Amino acid sequence: MKESYRIWPSETAQKLKNIMSIYDHKHLFNQGHYLYD
């Protein structure tokens, strides 16, 4: 997923991150395990 994230426009990536922040109650995405690892 790292490669696909890297080519996304910043605005799109930020919106997706915000959506995940809302629905990911355990904040796994916010800790960067999926987007930034």
The C-alpha angle with vertex 9 and arms to 6 and 14, in degrees rounded to 5, equals 90
Q: So what's the pLDDT on residue 21?
A: 74
- Tally the domains of the chain: 1
Query: pLDDT by residue (tens digit) across 1-37?
Result: 556 556 667 888 788 878 777 776 666 655 555 555 4
pTM of this structure: 0.36
Q: So what's the pLDDT on residue 26?
A: 65
Q: So what's the pLDDT on residue 11?
A: 84
Q: So what's the pLDDT on residue 14?
A: 83
CA distances from 8 to 11, 16, 25, 26, 32 (A): 8, 10, 24, 24, 16
Q: So what's the pLDDT on residue 37?
A: 44
Residue type, 37: D
Q: Please, what sign has the CA dihedral across residues 1, 33, 11, 21? A: positive
**Can you give the residue range of the structural domain that contains 25?**
1-37
Q: How many residues does the chain have?
A: 37
